[in-house]
Amino acid sequence: MKKNILISGGGIAGLTAAKLLSEQGHNVTVIDRALSFTKAGFLISLKSFGVRIMEELDLMEQLQAASSPSEFVSFLEKDEQLIQHISYEKMNKNIERSVLISRGGLHNVLYDNLKDQVNILFNTTISGIASRGNKTEVIFSDGQSMEADLVIVSEGLRSSTRERYFTDSQMEDFNTLYMGGRLQMEHSYTVGDFKIYIDVNKMLSIYPIANNEIAIQSYIHHTGDIATIKQRSAELLESFFSDYNIEVRDLLTRFTEEGLIFVDKMGMVEASDLVNGNLVLLGDAGYCPTALSGMGASLSIYGAKALSHFIGKTPDDLASACSNYNTLMQPIIRKFQGNARNNASSFIPADAHQLNQFVNTFRAASDIELKKIMTDPIILTEDQLNFKIN
Ligand SMILES: Cc1cc2nc3c(=O)[nH]c(=O)nc-3n(C[C@H](O)[C@H](O)[C@H](O)COP(=O)(O)OP(=O)(O)OC[C@H]3O[C@@H](n4cnc5c(N)ncnc54)[C@H](O)[C@@H]3O)c2cc1C
């Protein structure tokens, strides 16, 4: 039977769920606190099963058109000594080729495909929720209300609905600062050939994504609070890499003067149950694995597909559908959040000893070992890909 489904948060997870659930014939309403959507944003690499699901949604052509070339990545020490030079084609031989795209670009592919099919209300949030038997009455910030059979909460990392209605959930401060963005400039780097510097308590990536554009990303271990950091972001970025070569320093100076910088602190969301009555958490709102897992967008898309899959199986028993979704997701969330912790200690080592250990092992790694380091952590089992619960 057709259900009334409200999706709060029309990001990557929310729009994927909206597409799949409206295709099942449900009445889907999406609300988003944003006034409109933008194509801009930080660079992400959509990998593995995230790419596979975009293929299944028949959105690959649009995704490729909005993506940037990615051919090689060199991991370097701060004095430019090479640790590893990796070909994306070779590395992703047995899994889907990763797609480099801005978060806004990926989001826009979904939005463009969906905007004429689903009702999206901008500048709207949930201001209250009340249970009425099997139904839930939701009051919106503009005073309007709707009766929903299910409310999907996909409001991203700092979801206010999660904070209010999932009081057992926690957001762990990952003590890692992200500063990155894009800079329009002519340059002499090779497009698609990336550099990642690994160093004590920090990592710096330089992505020449077009002849006249460079994306820059840095992850820095930091325990300060985000409000203070945001005010000092330019100064912090330059000071953290002040002992790097002149080319890097000049690039960062130009970036802080002319680039579009996005600054945030990594948070990891832990919710022991993604379901509370008729409310279900999806995407970063429920299980943000941090950017250091490199798989947040893929997990958002996968979670949306899994939830829609179970709703499609038992549309008249949404409680069972949501419970199955939770059972499937919990071990997967633990795996990807565990990977993020491992990546943090490997790629952002805490001291010189750990840096040397990681650099030596990574440098000596054979092709098989490299594959293990780079691709094993980003795949799911066949059962998980087919939503089988043991
Ligand atoms: C720096 C960085 C690098 C990353 N790199 C990668 C990568 O390489 N690969 C990868 O797969 N992932 C990466 N990610 C993670 C990826 O961007 C996220 O996991 C993904 O965007 C989560 O999608 P989402 O839909 O759950 O949340 P979001 O994309 O955050 O969308 C949430 C939506 O909810 C709306 N909203 C917020 N609050 C409310 C509210 N109260 N009411 C209504 N609407 C609300 C917002 O406006 C937004 O539209 C990275 C993340 C960061 C920060």
What's the pLDDT tens digit per position in 166-182?
Answer: 999 999 999 999 999 99
pLDDT value of position 348: 94
Better-predicted residue by pLDDT, 234 or 110: 110
Q: Return phi, psi of residue 277, to 5°.
A: 60, -125
d(CA 381, CA 388): 10
Q: Whose CA is nearest to atom 3 of ligand 1?
A: 291
pLDDT value of position 22: 97
pLDDT value of position 224: 85
pLDDT value of position 227: 85
Q: Which of 8, 99, 263, 284 to mutate to test the pocket of ligand 1 (most atoms within 8 A of CB)?
A: 284
Q: Determine which of 66-70, 189-193, 232-236 has the lowest per-residue pLDDT on average.
A: 232-236
pLDDT value of position 193: 97
373 pLDDT more than 90: no
The two beta strands, 193-199 and 72-76, are parallel
Q: Is residue 109 part of a domain?
A: yes
pLDDT value of position 347: 92
The rounded Å distance from CA 103 to ligand 1 centre is 8
- Confidence band for 382, pLDDT divided at 50, 70 and 90: very high
pLDDT value of position 228: 85
251 pLDDT more than 80: yes
Q: Which of 43, 52, 103 to mutate to test the pocket of ligand 1 (most atoms within 8 A of CB)?
A: 103
- For residue 305, what are the domain limits? 4-172+268-385
> If we measure between CA atoms, which residue out of 324, 312, 282, 315 comes closest to residue 300?
282
The rounded Å distance from CA 212 to ligand 1 centre is 27
What average pLDDT does this structure show over 341-359? 94
* Averaged pLDDT score across all residues of the chain: 94
> If we measure between CA atoms, which residue out of 240, 384, 386, 270 comes closest to residue 338?
270
Number of the ligand 1 atom closest to the C-alpha atom of 262:
1
> Is the sign of the CA dihedral 16, 21, 23, 28 positive or negative?
negative
What average pLDDT does this structure show over 308-330? 98
The two beta strands, 82-87 and 27-31, are unpaired
> If we measure between CA atoms, which residue out of 42, 40, 29 comes closest to residue 122?
29
Q: Is residue 372 part of a domain?
A: yes
260 pLDDT more than 80: no
- Decide: 42 and 180 in contact? Cβ < 8 Å: yes
Q: Is residue 30 part of a domain?
A: yes
d(CA 12, CA 16): 6
Here the tokens at position 260 are 């579009």
d(CA 234, CA 239): 9
Q: Is residue 154 part of a domain?
A: yes
Instruction: Name residues whose C-beta falls within 8 Å of residue 175's C-beta, 6 or more positions apart in sequence.
Output: 221, 222, 223, 265, 266
Q: Is residue 190 part of a domain?
A: no
Q: Whose CA is nearest to atom 31 of ligand 1?
A: 11
Q: Which residues line ligand 1 (CB under 6 A)?
A: 8-14, 31-34, 42, 44-46, 50, 103, 125, 154-156, 159-161, 178, 264, 283-285, 291, 294-298, 300
CATH number of the domain at 368, please: 3.50.50.60
Q: Is residue 296 part of a domain?
A: yes
Amino acid at 122: F
- Confidence band for 184, pLDDT divided at 50, 70 and 90: very high
How many domains does the chain contain in total? 1
- Decide: 304 and 56 in contact? Cβ < 8 Å: no
The rounded Å distance from CA 109 to ligand 1 centre is 15
- Note the pLDDT tens digit of each residue in 54-89: 999 999 999 999 999 999 999 999 999 999 999 998
Q: Is residue 339 part of a domain?
A: yes
